[in-house]
C-alpha cells in the first residue's frame, strides 16, 4: 500500500490557503445544485441513477476508510451492507415503535459491531490473509440470512421488504424525491463524519498503520486499536449504505443483492476513484454507475440492439478488468488524482497566466 | 464406523481437488510474491478452451496441445502487460491487479466462447466402487492419483532442472538471484504458464464432474482456506491443507450440519482457516515472515 500512501496526506496539509475561497464557493454552488436537482431531474433519473450513485459512493467511502486509509484489504463489503439491511428490517418489523432514524443508526451499529468481530483477526494478521477473514463474513452471513426464516420473516421468496412505506426524518420514502433527499442527507452527514475522522488523530493512526505498521507500533501508534477502529467505522458506514440500498433504492432485497459481486464492485469503486481519498469514492461510484449505461447506449447506437445481452455483460466485465489494471499501473490514486491534475492545469492557465 | 470412514475418505479425496487448485497459487506466490486471485479464472479459461475445441470436433491430443499453447501465450501476455509494469509495487496492489485480471480473463473467455454450460467428457466415469463395505468414488480416486503425479512432477522440476533451481533461487532471494544473472521475467513467464497447466488439469477434472461453466472459476474461493491452513509457500502444505479442508468439510456437514440446519459447507472451511490463523498465522508449512523497519 505504500506506493499510494506517500502523496495523499501531505497535500492535504500543504493546501494553499489562498485557494480556500475558491474551494468554498465551489462547494456552496455544488450543494445548491444537488439540493435543487429534484426540480430539474425526472423521477426516473433520481430513482435509477442518482440514488444508487449516492449510495454506492457511501459504500465506497466506508470501504475506503478501511482499505484506502487503514490499508486493510476487505472483500466483505457486501456482507456488512447485508447485515445493516437485515438489521434494519428486523427493527422495522419487530420494533415498529423505534423511530426510523434511530433504527438506521442502530442497524449501522450492529453492522459496525460485526465488523469489529470479524476484524479481530486483523490484530494478528495482515495483508491478504485478511481476504480470508472478510470472505468468511461474506459466506457466513449469506448462509445465515437464507437459512433462518426469522431474518426474512419467512417470506417464500426469501426477500426482505418493509411492511409499509417508510418515513425517515419526517420525509415520506414513498416518492422518488423524498428518497433522494433522505439519501442525500445521510450520505452528506456520514461524509462529514469521515472527513473529520481522517483529518484527526484517528485518520493519522490509520495512515501510519497502512504505510508501515511495524514502524508505527515502534513510535507508539496503537496499531491494534487503530485497525479495529477502522473495521468498526467502515462497517458502520457500509451497514447504513446497505439499509439505503435495500429500502431507498431496491425496495426489496435479498442475500443476492449483497453477494460477492457487490463486494468486488465496491472495491473497484475505490480503486478507480482513488484509494485513500474521500472524493475518490464519489468519482468511482459515478464511473461504475455510468459506464454500464454508456456501454448500453453505445451498443444501441452502433449495433441497434443486435448485440446479445450476455455478450455485452461479458464485454463490460472485461472492460472493468482492463480499467482496474490500467488504474493500478498508471494512476493508483485514481480519478481523484486525474481530476486534481486537470483542475490544477486549468487553474494555472486561467488564474496565473504566464506572461 | 463404516459411515464415518466413508465420509472421511470421501472428504479426503474431494480435498485433493482443492489441493490441485491451491498448488497453482503456491507456484505463483513463491516465484513472484503475487497472490493470484485470477487462478480460478485461468482454470475456467483452460477448461473452456478445451471444451470448445472438443465440441468443434478436435481430437483430445490436438485440443490439449492448442489449450496448452493458449495458456503459454496468456502467461507471456500477463508477464509483459501486468507483472512487469507493476514490479516492486505493494503485494496488495498486485492482488487487486489480479482481481482485475480475473475480470478480463472471465469476460473475454466467456464473451468469445459463450457462457452456456458445457459437458466435458475426458473418459472418466463417476462410478462408485466398494472397498470392503465402504463406498468410494472412482472419480475422486483418479483425481487423487493425478494430484500425486502432479506433485511428483513438480518437485522433480524444482529439484532437478535448471529452471526449477533458478525458480527456487528467485523465491529465496530475488535480488541475489538477479545479481547472478537469473532472468526473472523469464522465470515469471514459465511459472505462470506452469500454474496455467496445473489449472488446466484441475479444470478438466472439476469440469468433467460439474460441467464447464462460470461457477468453475469459483473454486478459487475453495482454495483460499486450503492455502491459509497449508501455508502460502509450500506445495506439500497445499496437499495437506486440501486434505484437512476436504475431510473437515465432509465430517462437519455430516455431523455438525444437522445441528445448524445444514448447508454449512460454503463457510465452514473459512471458519476453520480463521482458527488456524489465530494459532499459526504462517500456516502449517509456511515460512514465517520477519519484518524490518
Task: Say yes or no to pLDDT of A179 above 70.
Answer: yes
ipTM entry: 0.87
Interchain CB contact of A15 with B (< 8 Å): no
Chain B residues lying within 8 Å of A214, measured CB to CB: 291-293
Q: What is the pLDDT of residues A249-306, one digit of tens each?
A: 888 899 999 999 999 999 999 999 988 889 899 999 999 988 888 888 888 887 766 6
Half-sphere CA count of A36, side-chain side, radius 13 A: 7
Q: Is B86 within 8 Å of chain A by CB? A: yes
pLDDT tens digits, B223-274: 888 988 888 888 888 889 999 999 998 898 888 878 887 778 878 888 888 8
Please give the average per-residue pLDDT across A310-325, as a whole number: 88
- Closest Cα partner for B109 from B181, B154, B18, B45? B45
Residue A272 contacts residue A104 (beta carbons within 8 Å): no
Least CA distance to B103: which residue of chain A? A321
Calculate the CA dihedral of residues A238, A242, A243, A248 and round it to 10 degrees: 120
- Neighbouring-strand partners of residue B48: none
Higher pLDDT, B112 or A26: B112
Q: Which domains does chain A have, with CATH numbers?
A: 2-259 (1.10.3470)
| Domains of chain B, residue spans | 2-121+128-217
Q: Which of residues 206-265 of B touch A (CB under 8 A)?
A: 221, 224-225, 228, 260-264
Mutating which of B82, B83, B92 best tests the A interface, going by the most A Cβ atoms within 10 A?
A: B92
Dump pLDDT digits (tens) for B150-178: 888 988 888 888 888 888 888 788 888 88
* Residue B258: burial class (beta carbons within 10 Å; 0-12, 13-18, 19+): exposed
pTM score, two decimals? Answer: 0.88
Report how far apart, in Å, the C-alpha atoms of A297 and of each of A46, A355, B225 are: 19, 45, 42
CB of A132 within 8 Å of a chain B CB? The answer is yes
Residue of B nearest to A131 (CA): B224
Please identify which residue in the block is written with the cell numbers 490514486.
A333
Contact call for residues B19 and B239 (beta carbons, < 8 A): yes
Helices then strands, each counted (H, E), chain A: 15, 4
Residue A5, pLDDT > 50, answer no
Q: How far A70 CA sits from the closest chain B CA (Å)? A: 13
To the nearest whole Å, the CA of A334 is away from the closest chain B CA by 13
Q: Residue A13 — pLDDT band, cuts 50, 70, 90? A: very low
Confidence of residue A126 (pLDDT cuts 50, 70, 90): low
Amino acid at each position: 500500500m505504500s506506493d499510494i500512501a506517500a502523496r495523499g496526506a501531505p497535500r492535504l496539509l500543504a493546501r494553499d490557503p489562498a485557494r480556500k475561497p475558491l474551494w468554498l464557493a465551489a462547494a456552496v454552488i455544488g450543494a445548491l445544485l444537488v439540493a435543487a436537482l429534484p426540480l430539474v431531474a425526472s423521477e426516473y433519473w433520481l430513482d435509477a441513477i442518482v440514488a444508487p450513485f449516492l449510495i454506492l459512493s457511501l459504500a465506497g467511502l466506508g470501504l475506503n476508510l478501511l482499505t484506502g486509509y487503514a490499508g486493510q484489504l476487505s472483500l466483505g463489503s457486501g456482507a456488512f451492507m447485508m447485515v445493516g439491511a437485515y438489521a434494519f428490517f428486523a427493527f422495522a418489523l419487530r420494533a415498529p415503535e423505534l423511530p426510523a432514524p434511530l433504527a438506521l443508526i442502530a442497524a449501522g451499529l450492529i453492522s459496525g459491531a460485526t465488523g469489529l468481530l470479524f476484524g479481530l483477526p486483523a490484530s494478528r494478521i495482515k495483508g491478504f490473509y485478511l481476504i480470508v477473514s472478510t470472505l468468511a463474513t461474506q459466506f457466513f452471513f449469506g448462509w445465515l440470512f437464507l437459512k433462518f426464516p426469522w431474518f426474512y420473516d419467512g417470506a417464500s421468496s426469501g426477500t426482505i421488504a418493509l411492511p409499509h412505506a417508510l418515513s425517515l426524518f419526517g420525509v415520506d420514502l414513498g416518492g422518488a424525491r423524498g428518497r433522494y433527499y433522505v439519501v442525500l442527507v445521510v450520505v452528506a452527514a456520514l461524509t462529514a463524519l469521515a472527513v473529520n475522522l481522517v483529518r484527526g488523530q484517528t485518520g493519522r493512526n490509520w495512515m501510519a498503520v497502512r504505510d508501515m505498521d511495524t514502524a508505527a507500533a515502534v513510535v507508539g501508534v496503537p496499531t491494534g486499536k487503530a485497525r479495529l477502529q477502522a473495521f468498526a467505522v467502515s462497517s458502520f458506514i457500509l451497514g447504513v449504505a446497505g439499509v439505503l440500498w435495500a429500502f431507498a433504492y431496491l425496495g426489496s432485497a435479498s442475500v443476492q443483492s449483497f453477494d460477492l459481486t457487490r463486494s468486488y464492485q465496491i472495491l473497484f469503486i475505490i480503486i478507480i476513484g482513488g484509494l485513500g481519498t474521500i472524493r475518490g469514492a464519489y468519482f468511482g461510484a459515478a464511473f461504475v454507475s455510468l459506464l454500464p449505461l454508456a456501454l448500453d447506449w453505445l451498443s444501441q447506437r452502433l449495433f441497434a440492439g443486435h448485440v446479445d445481452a450476455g455478450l455485452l455483460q461479458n464485454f463490460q466485465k472485461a472492460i472493468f478488468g482492463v480499467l482496474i489494471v490500467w488504474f493500478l499501473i498508471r494512476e493508483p490514486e485514481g480519478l481523484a488524482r486525474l481530476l486534481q491534475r486537470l483542475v490544477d492545469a486549468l487553474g494555472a492557465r486561467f488564474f496565473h497566466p504566464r506572461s | 464406523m463404516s459411515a464415518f470412514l466413508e465420509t472421511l475418505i470421501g472428504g479426503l479425496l474431494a480435498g485433493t481437488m482443492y489441493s490441485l487448485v491451491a498448488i497453482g497459487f503456491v507456484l505463483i506466490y513463491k516465484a513472484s510474491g503475487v497472490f493470484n486471485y485470477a487462478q480460478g479464472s485461468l482454470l475456467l479459461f483452460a477448461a473452456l478452451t478445451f471444451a470448445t475445441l472438443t465440441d468443434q470436433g478436435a481430437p483430445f491430443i490436438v485440443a490439449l496441445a492448442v489449450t496448452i499453447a493458449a495458456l503459454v501465450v496468456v502467461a507471456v501476455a500477463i508477464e509483459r502487460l501486468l507483472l512487469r509494469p507493476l514490479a516492486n509495487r505493494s503485494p496488495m496492489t498486485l492482488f487487486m491487479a489480479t482481481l482485475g485480471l480475473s475480470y478480463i480473463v472471465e469476460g473475454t473467455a466467456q464473451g468469445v466462447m459463450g457462457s452456456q454450460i458445457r459437458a466435458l467428457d475426458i473418459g472418466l466415469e463417476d462410478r462408485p466402487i466398494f472397498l470392503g463395505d465402504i463406498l468410494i468414488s472412482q472419480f475422486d480416486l483418479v483425481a487423487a492419483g493425478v494430484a500425486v503425479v502432479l506433485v511428483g512432477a513438480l518437485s522433480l522440476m524444482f529439484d532437478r532442472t535448471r529452471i526449477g533451481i533458478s525458480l527456487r533461487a528467485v523465491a529465496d532471494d530475488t535480488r541475489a538471484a538477479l545479481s547472478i544473472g537469473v532472468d526473472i521475467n523469464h522465470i515469471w513467464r514459465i511459472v505462470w504458464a506452469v500454474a496455467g497447466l496445473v489449472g488446466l488439469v484441475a479444470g478438466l477434472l472439476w469440469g468433467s464432474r460439474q460441467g464447464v461453466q462460470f461457477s468453475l472459476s469459483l473454486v478459487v474461493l475453495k482454495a483460499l482456506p486450503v492455502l491459509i491452513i497449508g501455508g502460502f509457500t509450500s506445495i506439500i502444505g497445499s496437499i495437506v491443507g486440501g486434505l484437512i479442508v476436504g475431510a473437515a468439510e465432509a465430517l462437519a456437514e455430516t455431523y455438525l450440519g444437522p445441528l445448524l440446519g445444514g448447508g454449512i459447507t460454503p463457510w465452514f472451511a473459512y471458519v476453520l482457516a480463521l482458527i488456524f490463523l489465530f494459532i499459526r498465522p504462517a500456516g502449517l508449512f509456511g515460512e514465517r515472515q520477519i519484518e524490518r523497519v
